[in-house]
Amino acid sequence: MKFFVLMLMLLFSLNAQAKSEFGHSENVESVTILASTSLTIPLTELALKYTRDHAVDVNVVYGNSVDLIEQIDEGEPADIAIFSDFAGIRNLQGNGLIDPKTISKIARNRLVLVSSKKKELPNFKNLEAAIDGIFSKNLSVIGDPVTTNLGAYTKQALNKLGRWDKFERFFILGLNSAKTADLIIKSQTVGVIYATDYDLNSANLKLIATFPESTHKPVEYTGAVLIGDNMAEARNFLKYLSSSAAKQVLKKYGFGVE
């Protein structure tokens, strides 16, 4: 988590520097993005690059899709939505809030079972044995399945493996993907997070197993342009996220790309 915070501080510092290079004239174009928390590091870096290269002020608000959709429904000014599941985009499409022609897949992720490096655990022969051996003896941390996509994917996977009903009472719920990883580290326990959050916190976490993608819906980040007055600039940025340069940044932080 310390690395995560340091990276954010560096990126926000550079972002402020980049914005100061072209000032805040009324003529400066801007784009506002609402995005899943797990995209914080790569999307902040990409926003910085785009700001510098195109003199467009890119602002990103991070959160879970439930809260972000509520903000959009309440009229929160935004130009692009990027969620870690398609259901959130489909919800917006059903309410006539996005341009369906702009819907695009941006990246992929995986679910992993991890533990704090300070947690002593035996070796397990497979994922099922690890779940049975760990969850039955430890309070474990997962994303909230009601308010976070991470939690929803985790519940799907554990249901598929026949373990959700058995172990549900042993779970501590994280408010988003970053806080779920942080809770595992600070509580010196175990839990389920995205593979990219494990990569960011690998100095403090140990990888136990990766969930087969057949156990849950694909963890795919989908974006779309919101209906409004700034759709042309929003389309440009969304297109940029599909560029080879943007894909290299996403890959650097462990995300899968086409």
* pLDDT value, residue 30: 96
* pLDDT value, residue 14: 47
Sorted by sequence, the CB contacts under 8 Å of residue 111 that are 6+ apart come out as 150, 153, 154, 157, 192, 193, 194, 195, 210, 211, 215, 216, 219
pLDDT in tens, 48-95: 999 999 999 999 999 999 999 999 999 999 999 999 999 999 999 999
Residues in the chain predicted with pLDDT less than 50, given as ranges, are 3-14, 18, 24-25
* pLDDT value, residue 193: 98
* pLDDT value, residue 27: 61
* pLDDT value, residue 10: 46
* pLDDT value, residue 13: 47
* pLDDT value, residue 60: 97
* pLDDT value, residue 237: 98
Please give the domain boundaries of the chain with CATH numbers for all domains.
2-108+218-252 (3.40.190.10), 111-210 (3.40.190.10)
